[in-house]
């Protein structure tokens, strides 16, 4: 196989697909990318046992063929070359890469392979990309990142509602959900549990685009789901297992709430958090005193000392002191784009809710930290 293409287009496709070619590759084999040439179309595929990302670009091709190359090495080689034309020329065992006066000969890794997930239905549902990506940005952050404790919590539940779809994620310490009204991606009453890692890649792809009218083609079977965005196709295995009954965590009302500036509160959390950044316990909680004066943040550490800051806000309810993990708190605040946010509280032991003032389509529930 032989082809010629511009470095920048090729590098973008290689970087995108290499994100699936992780160290979790099957059977301990080397993370690899498959390059398949058909006429002037180059299909680049990266995978691990649970995720496949494919990207197709146009090249000047001569001789169809396919080869597996080490993902990290091939990305770094192409990145190191000067902008301009790059030529790939090789067979089954080796690929010669030339650009200007530079030349590389890269061998196929021993034991290299690509995962192929099961075929899916040809028909799909079209989703508005930017709107879907915003929901993912708000929700994916609450999913569990370590699958050793509860694998089903590493996913995002996509569930059909009467008026659209709901995205839900939780790691058991916080919970986030977002309602996307008017989007019918699933049959009535249906739900699928999609790995948060795959959805994070979807958000990344959409956020990198400047096309506000971009769409996603979504398909799924009992075992897998596919998202197609432009020239990129992402296929992921669906998660199995019982997702928690999160509805019972949603209280019908809150007796206490504060309306507060999103930016002012986020900045204050970042400042007081500095006291715990280099300590042995980086999860030392931030205590927040809610009163008519607003929200007073306090952090106390044996190693570094203390920090306090008062943020003005409109508070209604009984005076309370509630402690939160500062990192989880900050992620909830930053998930909201509006200038003003609402924090709704029952007491120091039950989940508090963070949401946009006047908008309940997105909610972020955060468990307080028990302190003496």
Backbone dihedral angles phi then psi of residue 369, each to the nearest 5 degrees? -95, 130
DSSP H helices, the chain, are 7-18, 71-80, 129-139, 196-207, 262-273, 326-334
Which residues are bridge partners to 284 per DSSP? none
Spell 119-151 as b/e; 16+ CB within 10 A means b.
Answer: eeeeebeebbbbebbbbbbbbbbbbbeeeeebe
Task: Report, at the CATH architecture level, how domain 2-107 is classified.
Answer: Roll (3.10)
Q: The whole model's pTM is what?
A: 0.90
| Whether 18 contacts 10, CB under 8 Å | no
**pLDDT of res. 74:** 96
Q: What is the rounded distance in angstroms from the CA atom of residue 310 to the CA atom of residue 81?
A: 52
Structure tokens at 340: 């003003």
Q: Are 2-107 and 125-247 in the same CATH fold?
A: yes
Residue with tokens 């530079």: 102
> In this structure, which CATH number among 3.40.50.2000, 3.10.150.10, 3.40.50.300, 3.30.470.20 belongs to the domain 125-247?
3.10.150.10
Q: At 49, phi and psi to the nearest 5?
A: -60, -20
Res 119: pLDDT = 67
- By the 10 Å C-beta count (0-12 exposed, 13-18 middle, 19+ buried), 211 is classed as exposed
The verdict on domain 251-366 having CATH code 3.10.150.10 is: yes
Interstrand relation of 32-38 and 94-99 (parallel, antiparallel or unpaired) = unpaired
Q: Is 131 left (phi over 0), alpha (psi -120 to 50) or beta?
A: alpha
| Segments of the chain scoring below 50 in pLDDT | 25-27
Euclidean distance between CA atoms 325 and 348, whole angstroms? 13
Which sequence spans correspond to the domains of the chain? 2-107, 125-247, 251-366
Q: Identify the pLDDT of residue 26.
A: 47
pLDDT value at residue 27: 47
- Which residue has tokens 């685009």? 209
Tell me if residue 353 falls in helix, strand or coil: strand
Residue 136's pLDDT is 96
Q: How far is 336 from 362, CA to CA, in rounded Å?
A: 8
65 vs 62: CA distance, rounded Å = 9
């Amino acid at each position: 196989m032989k082809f010629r293409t511009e470095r920048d287009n090729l590098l973008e496709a290689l970087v995108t697909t290499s994100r699936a070619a992780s160290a979790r590759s099957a059977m301990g084999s080397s993370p690899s990318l498959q390059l398949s040439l058909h006429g002037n179309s180059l299909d680049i595929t990266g995978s691990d046992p649970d995720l496949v990302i494919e990207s197709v670009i146009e090249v000047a091709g001569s001789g169809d063929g396919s080869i597996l190359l080490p993902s990290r090495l091939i990305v770094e080689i192409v990145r190191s070359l000067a902008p301009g034309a790059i030529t790939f020329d090789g067979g089954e065992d080796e690929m010669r890469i030339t650009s200007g006066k530079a030349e590389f000969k890269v061998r196929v890794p021993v034991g290299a392979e690509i995962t192929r997930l099961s075929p899916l239905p040809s028909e799909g549902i079209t989703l508005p990309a930017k709107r879907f990506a915003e929901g993912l940005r708000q929700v994916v952050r609450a999913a569990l990142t370590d699958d050793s404790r509860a694998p089903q919590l590493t996913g995002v539940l996509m569930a059909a509602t009467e008026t659209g779809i709901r995205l839900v994620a939780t790691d058991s310490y916080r919970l986030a959900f977002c309602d996307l009204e008017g989007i019918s991606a699933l049959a009535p009453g249906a739900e699928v549990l999609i790995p948060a890692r795959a959805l994070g890649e979807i958000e990344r792809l959409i956020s990198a685009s400047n096309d506000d009218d971009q769409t996603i083609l979504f398909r799924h079977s009992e075992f897998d789901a596919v998202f197609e965005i432009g020239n990129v196709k992402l296929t992921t295995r669906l998660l199995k297992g019982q997702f928690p009954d999160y509805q019972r965590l949603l209280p019908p009302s809150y007796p206490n709430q504060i309306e507060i500036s999103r930016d002012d509160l986020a900045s204050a959390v970042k400042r007081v958090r500095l006291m715990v950044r280099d300590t042995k316990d980086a999860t030392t909680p931030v205590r927040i005193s809610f009163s008519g004066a607003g929200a007073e943040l306090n952090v106390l550490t044996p190693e570094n000392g203390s920090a306090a800051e008062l943020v003005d806000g409109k508070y209604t309810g009984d005076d309370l002191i509630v402690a939160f993990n500062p990192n989880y708190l900050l992620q909830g605040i930053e998930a909201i784009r509006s200038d003003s946010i609402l924090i709704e509280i029952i007491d120091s032991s039950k989940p508090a809710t963070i949401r946009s003032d006047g908008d309940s389509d997105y909610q972020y529930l955060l468990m307080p930290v028990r302190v003496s």
